[in-house]
Chain A
């Protein structure tokens, strides 16, 4: 797939470019600030952009603002945001809209090369990818308020994976259970949370994250 990278640390940017190239992706541009990200995106229309939140000149949320702008202008481009820390606000802002082709990972996740590439694929394929830590934080915030309290431990595990953007098959693989067991858990979760079951997995992530964010 065609990717644009935005990351101000040269060290990391070069590393990411090498990694993506080795994996057979095409890095059409790699830039160091939000403005350059917007202009190169307009010029190349990549499949996915990967951007750091904090970039020059303000070093606050330049990258995130560029990402939101890209989501608004070119909804067909996948957006994967890398952040230094879990910011509930960032995750919430990113999923407003249709909640598709979007991801929010902690920067450290890049070191888990497999997970990072997996997330990138999910975003490019039209899905969502949320960092386990982000999801955990979001779930933790709401445990004391009802209906999540009704879930079993196993169901919570499945919900976490779901919220990260995994498919049922992916969840089954990572939790070492059968696909039908996962489907059973998912139905139970939807029942307990009072969510209507829908076909697309990204929509269910959206539903869950919206529910958590509310």
Chain B
């Protein structure tokens, strides 16, 4: 029987956690002795440094174990003194999990013996013949014990993680360092996003509007060179039509650069205009009791417009849904289509959007399994 992928992942996670806990149980025993003798050794000032550095080595081992088996990431910038302080409760937890494993082994052993006795027709204990209720009570009691031991394991694992977070949790300095590197990345991304947009505008202008104007000029030039008046007036008529189309193109390009409705009337009318202009039917649901800050409105608008453009270009969709709503102190925009899916966040248009959203400290999620549907979500803070 095939096991569903989610189930398999869960089982693997459980096994990995159990293994991590078992290793933690053995290190717990070692740590218990280290804490015991190290604690006594601390009374001698000369021994303090080596004791603390040993404690650091041990807790570094614990930190790596937690990272490997539980995916717990913790900071490394803690002192030897803090490491020693961590080892005291940590060895208790280690011993506790060692105890739980011991009890589980014991329970499994007795379970085997009792099971054998029941199959043999004897009651648990083995002397008297079995009553009819013996298997039932044994089964219920066994299930209860299995449940309790599983709970024990989960509890020990949780405690293990919590303790490490408490002692090694990122210091102020570490938090600051992370924030700075986040900001540096997003700044670089903003620059990249702006450049990408500039390139797009340049292309829109040169490959669209300029071509029209050159064609227009060419028509006028031909009209001037034409000797036959009927032909000249025909060319002029074409030139006139071409000038109208050039204007339409120009309006399109400038709209794509920045929809003026966004400034004047806010997000809702701008999105309505976007929906009207789309070739694929767009269903709009905007629930924003008050206007978010202009910068956030702009990002929301561009997420929506770029997602719609992408959908029209690539997804062969027949319907697009745009939802924008307030969620506490955040704005959430979600664009769903019924197209072919398979969009990747690393793809051209979407990676630009991801950068834009990251620059505003927001989250950007693309969910687009092959075969569809595609859901693009952006959550932006707007305090």
Contact = CB atoms under 8 A, between A and B. Distances in A.
A19 interface: yes
A12 interface: yes
B222 A18 contact: yes
B222 A12 contact: no
A98 interface: no
Interface in A4-61: 9, 11-12, 15-16, 18-19, 22, 54, 59
A181 interface: no
A84 interface: yes
B205 to A, nearest CB: 9
Given A112-B217, A113-B221, A114-B225, A11 B211 contact: yes
A19 B218 contact: yes
B362 to A, nearest CB: 31
A186 to B, nearest CB: 31
Contacts of A113: 217-218, 221-222, 224-225
A111 B239 CA distance: 12
B216 interface: yes
Contacts of A15: 214-215, 218-219
Contacts of A108: 210, 213-214, 217
15 contacts: A9-B207, A11-B211, A12-B214, A15-B214, A15-B219, A19-B221, A22-B222, A59-B207, A84-B210, A108-B210, A111-B214, A112-B217, A112-B221, A113-B224, A114-B225
B212 interface: yes
Interface of B: 203, 206-207, 210-222, 224-226
B225 A11 contact: no
Most chain A CB atoms below 10 A, which of B215, B216, B224:
B215
A19 B216 CA distance: 12
Nearest to B207: A9
Q: Majority SS of interface residues in chain A? A: helix
A129 to B, nearest CB: 17
B225 A12 contact: no
Interface of A: 9, 11-12, 15-16, 18-19, 22, 54, 59, 84, 107-108, 110-114
Contact of A107 (B214, B216, B221, B222): B214
B220 A111 contact: yes
A70 to B, nearest CB: 23
Contacts of A111: 213-214, 216-218, 220-221
A12 to B, nearest CB: 5
Given A9-B211, A11-B212, A110 B225 contact: no
Contacts of B215: 11-12, 15
B213 A19 contact: no
A182 to B, nearest CB: 27
B220 A12 contact: no
A18 B206 CA distance: 22
Contacts of B211: 9, 11-12
Contact of B210 (A19, A59, A107, A114): A107
B206 A84 contact: yes
A111 B243 CA distance: 13
Nearest to B226: A22
A111 B211 CA distance: 10
Most chain B CB atoms below 10 A, which of A18, A54, A84:
A84
A59 B206 CA distance: 11
A151 B221 CA distance: 35
A107 B206 CA distance: 10
A167 B91 CA distance: 96
Contacts of A12: 211, 214-215, 218
A114 B207 contact: no
Contacts of A18: 222
A152 B112 CA distance: 110
Contacts of B220: 111
A112 B216 CA distance: 11
B134 to A, nearest CB: 78
Contacts of B210: 84, 107-108
